[in-house]
Structure 1
Amino acid sequence: MTSPDFGGLGPHNSQRLLYFVRIAELGSVTSAALSLGISQPSLSTALRKLERELEVQLFDRTRGGVVLTPEGQLLVGEARSVLKNLDDFRLAVIAARSEQPEAVKVAIPSGVNVSLFAPLAQVFTRRYAPAQIHVIPTWSLAETVETVRTGKAELALLPRVSVPNDMEGHDVGHYEFALAFPPGFATPTRAVDLTALDKMPFIGSREGTAADRLVRAAHREGLKPQVVMIEPNIPSLPHLVATGVGAAMVTTTQSMELRLLGVQTRLFEPREKWSVRMIHRRTKLSPPARRLLAVAQDLRRKRG
C-alpha cells in the first residue's frame, strides 16, 4: 500500500491534519469537535475535504463512532510527524525572533580617536548584520586593560603601549598627530617641533595620552607650554581650538575638520605617530569578537 499523496493538500492542510489526528485519537467526530472547540458540521466538512484532496477514505463509520481505514492508519503516523515538525519550526522561529543579536564588547579609552574605530565599526556591522558592538568607555589605559582582564569587555583598543603578558595584541592601525593653532597665533609655514609649544596656551588631556606626553616632553626640553585646560573629550577639541581656548594636539583626521572651521594645523617634525593595538585575553574569543578582530586586521592590511 502506498503512502497518501501530500502534494494534493490545500492551504489549510495543517489544520485539517490536526482535525484528522484528533478524530483518530478520540474515535468520534462529536468528541473531537468538542475538544477542538468547533461545530460538528464544520469538522465533518473539513474531514470530507481532506479525504477528497487525498482521494482516500480515512474512516469507516460505526454505531460507536469512527475507526481508521487502512489508508487512515497509514496517514495518522505521518500526520503526527508533520504536525510535530511544524510545532518545532514555530518554536524555533519564536526563539530566533526573541534572541538578542550577537554583540561584542570593546573597551575604548578616551585617548583613542573615533577616526580609526569608525570604519571598523561600519564594515563589521554591515558585513555581519544584525551584529552589534557595545562600546565601553574608559578613562585611562590601566582601566582599559583591567576592563578586558576582568571580562567586562572582550576586546580593547590601546594606543602606543606594551601588550600585557597575560594578553595578546594585534596591530590594527596608527594615528599621525598635528598641532592645531588657535586663531590669532602665528602659524609656521612648515612642520613644527616642540619649541612651538613654548608659552603657547595648550589644551591638555589625561595622563598617558598623546597630549600629556607631548607636554611632558616639552618640559624636559625646558619649554613652558601653558596648559589652560585638561579636556578628555576628543570630539570637542576642534571647537575648543576654533574658539581660541588654546592649541591642541590633534589627529590628521581632526585636522581636516579644523580646516573647515578656519583653523590651521601643522605636522610635527619628527613625525609623531602612535600605533594602535587590539588586545584580548589569552582565551578563545567568541564568534563576534573573532569576526571583529579579523575585520580590523583586514582593514589594516588594506591601509598598508
Structure 2
Amino acid sequence: MELRPLRYLIAVVDSGSVTAASRAVHIAQPSLSRQLRQLEAELGLELFDRAGGRLVLTPAGEQFVPIARDLLARAEAANAAAAALAAGRLDRVTIAAPPTTMTDVIAPFLATLNADDPFPSVLEQEPQTVYEALRRGADLAISTEPPPRRYASLVLAVLPVWLYVPAAHPWAGRDSVELDELIETTLLVLPPGFKPRQLLDQAAERSGIRLSRTVENSSAEVAQALTAAGRGLAVVTDDSRFDLVGLQIRGAEGPLRVQLHAGWDAEHHAADSLRALAGRVGAFCLHRYGLTVAPGG
C-alpha cells in the first residue's frame, strides 16, 4: 500500500471536501478523487458515501481513518529516525543507571536539559546488570561499576563513600572518621553487590579490621532513615537525607571513594553525541558536588 493515497484520505477528512483537500495537497481534484477510488478498490472497502455530491465517511471509513493516521505517523517517525541515523544525530536517548545514581545524578541532570537536547527516557537497573541494558536498547549506561572493555567509556566523577550520622552525634562536627573507629559501631550497609559495601569490606580486610556489627539494607535511603532513627550509622554514597551529616571514611590507603562510569557502544550511530552527553553528566557532577569529585583531582 502506498502512503500517498492515505495522505489524500486524511486531507479530505480534515478539510471537509475534495475541493479543499486538493488545494491543501496541491493536486487536481479529479486526480485526488481517482486516488481515493483506487484506495477503496485496493482495500476492498467503501470509505465514503458519495450520495448528494458530498463525501461522507461510511462506518468502515470511520474505523479506517484512525488506522490511516497511525500508519502515516509511523512512517514519519521512521523517516525521522532514518535521517537521524544517517546524520549521526541523537533525537532520543535511553539512559540506564542504578536507583541511587538515577536519583542523585541522572534525574537532577535531566532537569537541566533544554529543548534542543534529545528526549530522554530512563531504565533503573541493579549495578551488576546496568551494562546489559545496552544490549537491550539503552543508549548510555551510568554506574559505579566499570563497563566491560568492549564498550566505550568515560569516568565521570569520583564520589565519597559517606558515613552518615545524626546532627546531634558526637562526630557530627568532623570531616572524616578512621576505619578502625567503626569497629564497635553498628553500621547500616548495603548488600555485597553494591560498590560502597565492597569498598568498605576491602578496606577492612586490608587493615585487618573485623567489622562485626553490620546490618544489611537493600535500600540506601532506608539505611539513612534508620540512621535518623538512631539504629546505626549508614555507609552509602547517596546524597544526605533526613538532615544527616556525612563524614568521609578513611582507610589505610586514604578515603573510600567510588568512580562513576559511563559506558556506550562504540559502534552506536551517535557515539560522538553519547560521549558529549556523558561529558555533560560529568560536568554536572562537578557543578553539583565540587571540584573534589573530578576524576584524578
Give the TM-score normalised by the residue count of structure 2: 0.59
Matching residue's letter, 1:122: A
CA shift, 1:210, in A, is 1.2
Secondary structure (helix, strand or coil) at the match of 1:186 reads coil
Matched, 1:298 2:280: yes
Matching residue's letter, 1:39: G
Match of 1:121 in 2: 110
Matched, 1:233 2:219: yes
CA shift, 1:180, in A, is 0.9
Secondary structure (helix, strand or coil) at the match of 1:276 reads strand
Match of 1:82 in 2: none
Match of 1:177 in 2: 161
Secondary structure (helix, strand or coil) at the match of 1:265 reads strand
Match of 2:257 in 1: 273
Q: Hey, what's the Cα distance between the residues in 2 that align with 1:194 and 1:230? A: 18
Within the candidate set 200, 203, 206, 2:191 is matched to 206
1:113-155 per-residue CA deviation (whole Å, 9 max, x = no partner) reads: 63122233323475436x23131412x43x334443x445332
CA shift, 1:98, in A, is 11
Query: 1:204, 1:227 within 8 Å by CA — same for their partners in 2?
Result: no
Higher CA-based Rg: 1
Q: Hey, what's the Cα distance between the residues in 2 that align with 1:172 and 1:100? A: 31
Q: Hey, what's the Cα distance between the residues in 1 that align with 2:137 and 2:22? A: 52
Matching residue's letter, 1:121: L
Matched, 1:132 2:113: no
Matched, 1:197 2:182: yes
Query: 2:183, 2:213 within 8 Å by CA — same for their partners in 1?
Result: no
CA shift, 1:274, in A, is 2.0
CA RMSD of aligned residues (A): 4.3
**Aligned structure 1 segments of 4 or more residues deviating by more than 4 angstroms:** 10-13, 15-20, 22-25, 88-103, 124-127, 182-185, 289-293
| Number of positions where the alignment pairs a residue of Structure 1 with one of Structure 2 | 229
Matching residue's letter, 1:168: A
Matching residue's letter, 2:265: R
Query: 1:125, 1:132 within 8 Å by CA — same for their partners in 2?
Result: no
Query: 2:186, 2:233 within 8 Å by CA — same for their partners in 1?
Result: yes
Matched, 1:37 2:22: no
Query: 2:145, 2:195 within 8 Å by CA — same for their partners in 1?
Result: no
Match of 2:170 in 1: 186
Match of 1:47 in 2: none
Q: Hey, what's the Cα distance between the residues in 2 that align with 1:267 and 1:106? A: 29
Matching residue's letter, 1:144: V
Within the candidate set 122, 142, 146, 1:157 is matched to 142
Q: Hey, what's the Cα distance between the residues in 1 that align with 2:184 and 2:263? A: 38
